[in-house]
Amino acid sequence: MNTDIRNEHWSIHEWQNQIDELLEVSDQPHALFNINEDDTREYDAIFLGGGAGGRFGSAYLRAMGGRQLIIERWPFLGGSCPHNACVPHHLFSECAAELMLQRTMAGRLWFQDLTGVVTSIKDVVDVFRKGRVGPHAIMNYQSKEQLDLEYVLNAEGTIIDPHTVEVAGRRFKAKNLVLGLGARAQMLTCPGAHLKGIFSYESLVEDLDYEPGNTVVVIGGSKTAVEYGCFFNATGRRTIFVVRTELLKLIHDLETRGFVIDRMKEQGIEIWEGSEVEHFTDNGHGHVASVQIRTPDGIQTVHTDFVFAGLGETPNSEMASKVLGVKIGAKNEVLVNPQLQTSVPHVYAIGDLIGGPMEMFKARKSGTYAARHIMGEEIAYDPQDWPDFMHTHYEVSWMGLSEEAARAQYENIITIKMPPDTPDGLDVALPASDRTMLYAFLEPRMSGFQKLIIDEASRRVVGAHHVGYGAKDSFQYLYQLMKQGLTIDQLGDMDELFLNPTHFIQLSRLRAGHRKLKNL
Ligand code: NAP
Ligand code: KPC
């Protein structure tokens, strides 16, 4: 069944109900067509996939006077971010931070004593499931009523050729095709990997229908594994990370990485590096009962009914490769040039489909850059350079060079650190700022860590690292300034909204007067 919704003007709440119903009966095809039949222009682009890349690319193309069409298999726009990726991850990470605070402050002030209390994972997953169509509805409403985008929802599009896509029995033609087909969780292949109770970020929010027991095995050592694993740990469960090489290799600054890992260990997380799962055993009812793990010290068996695998993502490039013959890289990513063009003329690719970093900024920005190129602008997109972040129980943000890389590249490196290097170690009451005040006063060693790295000769900031709360947003702007050559003097001349979460402005101001820079 297809429904023409062009003349429906559903409110956000009405959209919520529609999406809920469509998600419930996903086995019956029911496409929603929002096509402007009065517009006789040829489409400038069909965006196959209505995630962040397709939606932002469409909005930009439309804003530039072009005509676009999004085709999306889910009954909503916005893609995996609000459905099973960044939004639930942020919810879980917020819970991890709240629970760590609660457990750390137990018995003090108004904090309950949670000693020995294991909180529900399923309840938080249920909170997410119950609320997730809220953002979905906003995306559909905004795209139709405010951005004037054309779209077909809840129907899988099939690529026919570089100018044609078929969806729900109709064929649409466009001058260009923009592929934004996303990526999917990579799964284990060892014996028993099919058992119930072994989750990815995707299946966790779809399938969790029981309360996990008190031991969790997390496989993987990068962002997804760590973010979810820290949440499971914060609920009070024994949490074991099984990492085949090393944990958090992506945080290059060794001191920052060390601080992050030490705080994870302090929370009781067990980290088994150089270890791999050999197989899972069945409890007799198709559910995981134990995990056999090959560690440097021999085989270990962990009894658990709950395993989480954060093994990275595989781009959904199969259809484009098979039908169009677009060139694919070693990790299944669609290869593109800086104009986001694939190897096939008139076919662009954006977002997670073109490989890492699979970050929201890249999805949205690559979509808009493809749109701009289609509309005749000269653009060159370079996603290799970006400020980065992830969550443990904290927010961890970094930009530019690690101290080690900076020392290798420049003759003299100055660092500004909080807490400073003194015999007192971490047990001092700084850094303190929003969301770390209670730690600063009651458990100083947990209030965070920050480091600014400066090339002495040019006085330029070449790297910054932060573990705490609140720095993520400022790093996005500081990074742009840093790329333009931000000096300690300019940083020290900015106005900080006190208490400033990075402290870098105030600390730079203290040092900026020095002709000969010194560590702080
Ligand atoms: P990732 O960064 O690609 O890392 C994959 C992890 O899984 C690595 O630790 C890897 O181990 C391990 N691994 C892969 N295959 C394995 C196997 N067969 N057996 C055991 N371990 C295996 O993956 P991710 O953390 O899932 O992130 C995926 C993408 O999403 C990235 O582009 C990331 O930027 C993005 N993301 C971002 C955030 C954020 O907060 N900014 C959050 C989640 C995801 P080795 O390294 O030891 O080989
Ligand atoms: C709630 C939220 O902003 C996350 S969902 C964003 C999807 S999109 O606007 O299409 O990038």
* Mean model confidence pLDDT for the chain: 96
Catalytic residue flag (residue 498): yes
Q: Using most ligand atoms within 8 A of CB, pick from 91, 224, 275 the residue to mutate for ligand 1.
A: 224
pLDDT, tens digit (0-9, with 9 covering 90-100), for 404-424: 999 999 999 999 999 999 999
pLDDT, tens digit (0-9, with 9 covering 90-100), for 135-174: 999 999 999 999 999 999 999 999 999 999 999 999 999 9
Q: What integer is the mean pLDDT of 236-241?
A: 98
CATH architecture, range 394-512: 2-Layer Sandwich (3.30)
Superfamily of domain 187-309: FAD/NAD(P)-binding domain (3.50.50.60)
What is the pLDDT at residue 197? 98
Does the pLDDT value for residue 303 go beyond 70? Answer: yes
Catalytic residue flag (residue 478): no
Give the DSSP letter of residue 485: T
State yes or no: cis peptide before 438, omega within 30 of 0.
no
Q: What integer is the mean pLDDT of 185-189?
A: 96
- pTM for the complete prediction? 0.97
Separation of 195 CA from ligand 1 center, angstroms?
A: 21
Does the pLDDT value for residue 290 go beyond 90? Answer: yes
Question: Domain-by-domain residue ranges, the chain?
Answer: 2-82+129-184+314-374, 187-309, 394-512
313 lines ligand 1 (CB under 6 A): yes
Q: Show Cβ contacts of residue 480 under 8 Å, excluding neighbours closer than 6 positions.
A: none
Give the DSSP letter of residue 117: -
Q: State how far Cα 276 lies from the chain centre.
A: 25
Q: What integer is the mean pLDDT of 421-434?
A: 92
Report residue 96 as tokens. Answer: 């991890």
Specify the 3-state DSSP secondary structure of 92: helix
- Identify the nearest ligand to the CA of 140 by its number: 2
Give the DSSP letter of residue 446: G
82 lines ligand 2 (CB under 6 A): yes
Q: What integer is the mean pLDDT of 273-277?
A: 98
Specify the 3-state DSSP secondary structure of 383: coil
What is the pLDDT at residue 384? 79
Q: Show Cβ contacts of residue 218 under 8 Å, excluding neighbours closer than 6 positions.
A: 225, 228, 229, 232, 239, 240, 241, 242, 307, 308, 309, 310
Active-site choice (89, 92, 99, 136):
136
CB 288 within 8 A of CB 304: yes
Active-site choice (109, 285, 497, 498):
498
What is the pLDDT at residue 26? 67
Catalytic residue flag (residue 86): yes
Strand order in the sheet with 395-400: 388-391, 395-400, 460-468, 449-455, 413-418
| Strand duo 413-418 + 43-48: pairing | unpaired
CB 233 within 8 A of CB 321: no
Is 2-82+129-184+314-374's fold the same as 394-512's?
Answer: no
What is the C-alpha to C-alpha distance for residues 165 and 159, in angstroms, rounded to an integer?
Answer: 5
Task: Give the percent of the chain with pLDDT over 90.
Answer: 94
What is the C-alpha to C-alpha distance for residues 428 and 422, in angstroms, rounded to an integer?
Answer: 10
- Identify the nearest ligand to the CA of 368 by its number: 2
**Is the domain covering 2-82+129-184+314-374 a CATH 3.40.50.620 domain?**
no
What is the pLDDT at residue 25? 82
Give the DSSP letter of residue 500: P
